[in-house]
Structures are given as structure tokens and as C-alpha cells.
Amino acid sequence: MEPLRVLELYSGVGGMHHALRESCIPAQVVAAIDVNTVANEVYRYNFPYTQLLAKTIEGITLQEFDRLSFDMILMSPPCQPFTRDLLLQTIENCGFQYQEFLLSPTSLGIPNSRLRYFLIAKLQSEPLPFQAPGTDGVPQN
């Protein structure tokens, strides 16, 4: 199986990239995008071989997206309530099913009790092949 080609939006210092790496899913982050220059310096240090684009996602053209030829998007948006509503609407309009999770890192053995929001999406024609710990695996859309 070919590794997934992943685009990382709102990449910050690379937390989602690191989580993907730890998941052992065969994947390559083809580009990371964030406007924060300090975060980008840390990201570049953590992942020196990943293409890093210092821009807003609104500044990316459709042609740039097409050239990246990605299979999956990872993101950790800074304004989650607004982004979540817009994201869910877009996901549904594009024919995806999704599952949302609020997980505490402590449930994964990480000593931080702040809840984190996760969303997994897949085309409706294919079943979701995974579920988060402590959930029933039923899509919430």
C-alpha cells in the first residue's frame, strides 16, 4: 500500500504531524501550512524535510492544492468553534461522513486533562475503519 500523502493545515509546531508519525500509519506529510513565524521555526526544527508554507490557508490557490496531490488533511485550527461549524458544513456538502471526539489526553496516557477535539472524515461510500478509545464508533452526522 502506498503511504498516504498528507497536507497539514494550521500546523503550529507539528503536533498533528508527530501524532501521525506515532500512529504508525504509512504516511508522508507533503506540506505544512501556518502563518505563525515562531511556530514555523519550531516546526522546521522538528521536521526539517517537510515543505513548510508560511501563509494563511485562504492564500492558497486551487492550483497549489492540486499540485500537492494529497489524500488526507490534518489540522489543528486555532478558532475551533467557528472552524468546526464551517468544516462540518463543507464536509457534509462534499459527501463525507464524519465522527467527532472530545478526548482527554489522560485517556491516552498523556498527563494533560484538557479536552481535545478530534474529527475523522471519510467518503460516505466507504466505512470508517477506526474509532477513538471509549467511543462506540458510530458516526455523528
Q: Which active-site residues does the annotation give?
A: 79
Q: What is the DSSP string of 20-43?
A: HHHHT--EEEEEEE-S-HHHHHHH
**17 burial type by CB count under 10 A (0-12 exposed, 13-18 middle, 19+ buried):** buried
Question: In this structure, which amino acid lies at residue 48?
Answer: P
